Amino acid sequence: MRVKIVDVAREANVSVATVSRVVNNIPLVNEETKERVLEAIKKTGYKPNAIARSLKIQKTNTMGIMIPDITNPYYTEIVRGAEDVCGIYHYNIILSNTDFDPEKEKKSLNVLVEKQCDGIIYVGKDLSAEMQAELIDAPSEVVLGCIPDDSGFLSGVLINNETAAYELAMELIKMGHKKFMLFFDELEEGYIYQERKKGFIKAFEENNIEFDDSRILREKLSLSGGYTMMQEAINTGVDFTCVFCFNDQTALGAIRCAEEMGKKIPEDISICGFNNFWIAEWTRPQITTVAQPMYDIGAIAMRMLIKLCEKDGDRTVKNVYVPHEVHIRGSVTEIKK
């Protein structure tokens, strides 16, 4: 049996109120009784029941984090950043993988709310109107990761995807590329997709580069998805010298396929990823990509969330844009005229 506060009280010959006071470090306790209580706690091995405490004080010091897939290195870093900040402020996180599945998301949000999470971080590539409404409605505080809020009720931490894509495209255009392809997600039409597409197309248009949707391929954003898309791109005989992949895994898959099909990377095809996952400069060729400060996104989001949860914390709601960085590496090269 777990020992409870009343056992300690009995042992120390005081009331439970007094024990509670010393456990919670409330000052107005006589030094001597405090000693006695401390002794009793040690002797009995008492550990406060946080559940009971939470029920009483209406605060769990537990945060929920909804993330598509912890296995995706991009999200892994976010979680690590969030958890580290939690540790500092004596919170814990409940982790929930949602796999971009609206049903799972709804269920997950529900249990996080039922478990009385003080706050919830919602990470995704898009925010459906329905999900947005649920998040605004939720009694827990909410901060978005990687997507902004447009309702004025939520906060978000993210990079400017449009600018990032634009800058990346401009670099490749400067290198002489004119014939591009995009390797994007199989289904997605959501926020990040739109933003990046806007950025790429803006760069294309400013430079009078022809582009239409037939140059967008769609598959799972994975090593094998990238492989498949490259296969298709080469087989259908489209004319292209450069590919923008939605993430680095996809880019690496595409690189491998191209190599196997006899292409030299970057001489024959320049290939770019996105996110700068931890291994991007250790592959051969190294992957040209846009670095997102993923750890920081998690850490900043969590900091904001904690402030929302604390009594006199900052309650300003805002979208925070964190800096990105274009990294030009070995997977791309100037076009030879």
Partner DNA sequence: CTGAAAGCGCTTACAG
Name the site residues for DNA (rule: CB under 7 A). Answer: 2, 4-6, 13-18, 20-21, 23-24, 26, 28-30, 32-34, 46, 48-49, 52-53, 55-58
Contact pick of 16, 29, 38, 113 for a copy of itself (by CB under 8 A): 113
Per rule CB under 8 A, is residue 330 in the interface with a copy of itself? no
* Whole-angstrom distance, CA of residue 148 vs CA of residue 10: 54
| Least spacing, CB of residue 33 vs DNA, in Å | 3
* Whole-angstrom distance, CA of residue 90 vs CA of residue 337: 59
Closer CB to a copy of itself, residue 127 or residue 223? 223
CB atoms within 10 A of CB 205: 11
- Per DSSP, 270 falls in state E
Nearest to 100 by CA among 71, 70, 69: 69
Per rule CB under 8 A, is residue 275 in the interface with a copy of itself? no
CB atoms within 10 A of CB 140: 21
116: left (phi over 0), alpha (psi -120 to 50) or beta: left
Answer for the pair 143, 301: CB distance below 8 angstroms, yes or no.
yes
Q: Coil, strand or helix: which one is 139? A: coil
| Least spacing, CB of residue 22 vs DNA, in Å | 8
Answer with the entry of DNA, a copy of itself, none that 76 interacts with (C-beta below 5 to 8 A by kind). a copy of itself
CB atoms within 10 A of CB 328: 17
Per rule CB under 8 A, is residue 52 in the interface with a copy of itself? yes
Closer CB to DNA, residue 10 or residue 315? 10
| Least spacing, CB of residue 114 vs a copy of itself, in Å | 4
CB atoms within 10 A of CB 202: 16
Closer CB to a copy of itself, residue 80 or residue 263? 80
Catalog residues that contact a copy of itself under the rule CB under 8 A.
2, 47-52, 54-55, 60, 62, 69-71, 73, 76-77, 79-80, 83-84, 87, 92-97, 110-111, 113-116, 139, 223, 252-253, 256, 278-279, 282-284
